[in-house]
Chain A
Amino acid sequence: MMFLRRHAGLVPASTDQQAIALEPLDRRSPHGGPRHKAGVTWGILIALMLIASPAFGQQTSLADVQLRDPAKEAQARALMATIRCVECQGQSVGDSDAAIAGSMRALIRERIQAGETPGHVRAWLIERYGDYITYDPPMSAVTWPLWLAPVVLLIAGAAIARSSFRKRRQG
């Protein structure tokens, strides 16, 4: 996942240490036990946990964790499907692996968990990013032709059909 890969790259020192510290532990313990003192091993492990904790902290964010309440999770999911990922643009935040899409999923889940309605969260995002952020654009001065066009075309089609049927009957 993009989100975590970026973080792994963020702390090059910690990933190197992990590789060095974990390899001997895995290989040597079945044979003669660890060669260095246990205290040193624990010290390295604890240091690694401390270094790695920000990455684990990200993992437990609500970006990829469902809400406990299934009804709220369903609301959040439905909203995510209608919010555009601003980085990848062709995808919704629910589908995208981009870091900012993950942040938006976390934000949507957090706000819905806190009791906000999906409509309110959507309005908040539109206030920040404009109508482009949603795949379900609200009726406005720019979008009303889109909403009205199908109705107008249907009426025009019916009128044309009616007049041509009439002509045929007469002819």
Chain B
Amino acid sequence: MKRALLWLPLLLFAGLFALVGFGLLRPADRTVRSALTDKPLPDFTLPALLPTKPGVATSGYGGGQPRLLNVFASWCVPCKAEAPQLMKLKAMGVPIDAVATNDTPEAVRDFLKAFGDPYQRIGDDRQSKVQIALGSSGVPETFLIDGRGRIVMQHVGDIRADEVDAIAKAWRDAR
């Protein structure tokens, strides 16, 4: 009994060493994800940012058709990098709506003129309230809302060219 106990500190040390080593070698994922995935879209109504497109509201989801909801801003550089991928998704027939956070109509109009306009609806989220209500921690982020009005997927960061097919597939599967 006593002999076995003698080895205990060494074993504890080895365990701690392994834990710290594991933590050092594994790249830490610091992404803050929304806790709302697999939950219904929270209740909100955003007015239209541009006179040419309607705003975004919870009532516009759950009508049987899944839609993408893209949280973006004209001042966000990765959003510019993401624009061609959103245009590709639009061409594939995926309906995309936008929550424009902390933005102005003039700046968004210029942004869409320069980088293409993939959006059917754009909501004016000037104080980022809806962004927070969605549990989004930055721009850009894309939520997939299924035909029953539930958030089924959250994509954090800009959509890369090699991720377009997976997102289009997720959209088809959400029907």
Q: Does B132 contact A (CB under 8 A)?
A: yes
Given A100-B128, A104-B132, the answer on whether A10 and B107 have CB atoms closer than 8 Å is yes
List of A residues within 8 angstroms of B127 by Cβ: 58, 61, 103, 106-107
CB-based contact A132/B129 at 8 Å: no
- 29 A-B pairs within 8 Å (CB atoms) are namely A6-B75, A7-B75, A10-B74, A10-B75, A10-B103, A54-B126, A57-B126, A58-B102, A86-B32, A86-B137, A86-B138, A87-B137, A89-B30, A100-B131, A100-B137, A103-B102, A103-B131, A103-B132, A106-B127, A107-B127, A107-B132, A128-B34, A128-B36, A128-B42, A128-B132, A129-B32, A129-B34, A130-B32, A130-B33
List of B residues within 8 angstroms of A126 by Cβ: 35
7 closest pairs, A vs B, by CB? A86-B137, A103-B128, A128-B135, A130-B35, A86-B32, A10-B107, A129-B135
Nearest-Cβ distance from residue B74 to partner chain A, whole angstroms: 7
Among B1-52, those with CB < 8 Å from A are 30, 32-36, 42
Q: Are A129 and B131 in contact, CB atoms less than 8 angstroms apart?
A: no
Give residues in B with beta carbon < 8 Å to A. Answer: 30, 32-36, 42, 74-75, 102-104, 106-107, 126-129, 131-135, 137-138
Interface of B, helix, strand, loop or mixed by DSSP: loop
Is A43 an interface residue when CB atoms closer than 8 A count as contact? Answer: no
Interface on chain A toward B: helix, strand, loop, or mixed SS?
helix
Q: Tell me whether A22 is interfacial, beta carbon within 8 Å.
A: no
Q: Is A127 an interface residue (CB 8 A)?
A: yes
Please pick, from B74, B104, B133, B138, the residue contacting A100 in the complex, using a CB distance under 8 A: B138
Q: Which residue of A lies closest to B105 (CB)?
A: A54
Task: Report the separation of the CA atoms of residues A54 and B36 in the bound assembly, to the nearest whole angstrom.
Answer: 31
Is A48 among interface residues, defined by CB-CB distance under 8 A? no
Contact check, B30 vs A6: say whether CB atoms are below 8 A apart.
Answer: no
A49 interface residue (CB < 8 Å to B)? no
- Assess the A54–B104 pair: CB atoms within 8 A: yes
Which of B35, B102, B131 makes the CB contact (< 8 A) with A6? B102
| B31: min CB distance to chain A, Å | 10
By beta carbon, the residue of chain B nearest A9 is: B75
The reply on A99 being an interface residue by CB < 8 A is: yes
The answer, yes or no, to whether A155 is at the interface (CB within 8 Å) is: no
Cα A24 to Cα B30 with chains together (Å): 50
CB neighbours of A86 from chain B (8 A): 32, 137-138
The verdict on A87 contacting B135 (CB below 8 Å), with A127-B35, A128-B34, A130-B35 known, is no
Closest to A90 in B: B30
> Which B residue's beta carbon lies closest to that of A53?
B104
In addition to A10-B75, A54-B104, A87-B138, 11 A-B residue pairs with Cβ atoms within 8 Å of each other are: A10-B74, A100-B131, A100-B132, A103-B128, A107-B127, A125-B132, A128-B35, A128-B133, A129-B34, A130-B33, A133-B32
Contacts of B42 in A (CB 8 A): 128
Task: Type the 1/0 row for A108-141, where 1 means its CB is closer than 8 Å to any CB of B.
Answer: 0000000000000000011111101100000000
> Most chain-A CB neighbours within 10 Å: which of B74, B106, B131?
B106
